[in-house]
């Protein structure tokens, strides 16, 4: 897959006495599909003076490359912020709204306020900032690619930490996604507090355990 070709970091606004750079934040999330763990979002304002080469959709990169790029983004970006919505919030308001909530938190946590936000996908979070949705933006817009990488790396690290607490579930390999290994572990060991009970596979295992307790 080619690196993103669109970047908005060269745009400027005419100020009263000088030209002010038009600050654009890319925003993306990671973790909508898994059965466990928070959904994580990131917002990034890139610096044209300190570019990061090799940005791309995080899913098109190896784990090692994502880690290296994540470090560079954090060192070179004008501003970045990582936020999340918890499992409890996911179960309360559903994964779509929780993803929007995490993205809004990421934007609002930026130390430098953006003039415009480009959001991966087809809808925007509720936030005071001006936002625009970009379908497949993580493969098209450098700012969104950078956010995609930060969110993915942060969430993967969180799931590896969960593996150290619950090694029998294999979170270090599947990161909470509904793989055969994860589903088998759920059936064998049961539902954890970090599992999303609003997701059907988790709910089915929990319901089966309740029924089994009365048999």
pLDDT tens, 11-38? 444 444 444 678 999 999 999 999 999 9
The Cα 185–Cα 170 span in angstroms is 8
Res 2: pLDDT? 45
Token pair 């993915």 is found at: 152
Read off the pLDDT band of 210 (50, 70, 90): low
By mean pLDDT, which of 55-59, 71-75, 190-194 is the weakest? Answer: 55-59
The class of domain 12-165 in CATH terms is alpha beta
Strand stretches in the chain, DSSP E: 12-14, 19-21, 24-30, 39-45, 79-85, 116-120, 131-134
pTM, entire model: 0.89
C-alpha count within 13 angstroms, C-beta hemisphere, residue 87: 18
**Mean pLDDT, the chain, as a whole number?**
90
Strand stretches in 78-180, DSSP E: 79-85, 116-120, 131-134
Q: pLDDT (tens digit, 9 = 90+) per residue, 109-137?
A: 999 999 999 999 999 999 999 999 999 99
The Cα 92–Cα 184 span in angstroms is 26
């Amino acid at each position: 897959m080619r690196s993103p070709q669109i970047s908005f970091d060269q745009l400027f606004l005419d100020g009263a006495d000088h030209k002010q750079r038009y600050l654009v934040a890319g925003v993306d999330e990671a973790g909508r599909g898994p059965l466990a763990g928070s959904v994580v979002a990131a917002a990034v304002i890139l610096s044209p003076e300190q570019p990061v080469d090799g940005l791309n959709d995080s899913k098109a990169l190896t784990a090692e490359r994502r880690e290296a790029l994540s470090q560079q983004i954090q060192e070179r970006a004008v501003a970045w912020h990582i936020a999340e919505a918890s499992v409890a919030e996911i179960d309360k308001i559903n994964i779509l709204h929780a993803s929007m909530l995490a993205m809004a938190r990421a934007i609002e946590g930026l130390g430098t306020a953006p003039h415009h936000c480009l959001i991966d996908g087809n809808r925007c979070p509720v936030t005071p900032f001006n936002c625009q949705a970009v379908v497949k933006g993580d493969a098209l817009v450098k700012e969104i690619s950078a956010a995609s990488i930060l969110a993915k790396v942060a969430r993967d690290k969180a799931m590896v930490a969960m593996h150290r607490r619950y090694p029998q579930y294999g979170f270090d390999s599947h990161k909470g996604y509904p793989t055969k290994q994860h589903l088998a572990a759920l059936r064998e060991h049961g539902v954890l507090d970090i599992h999303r009970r609003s997701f059907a596979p988790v709910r089915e295992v929990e319901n089966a355990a309740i029924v089994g307790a009365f048999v």
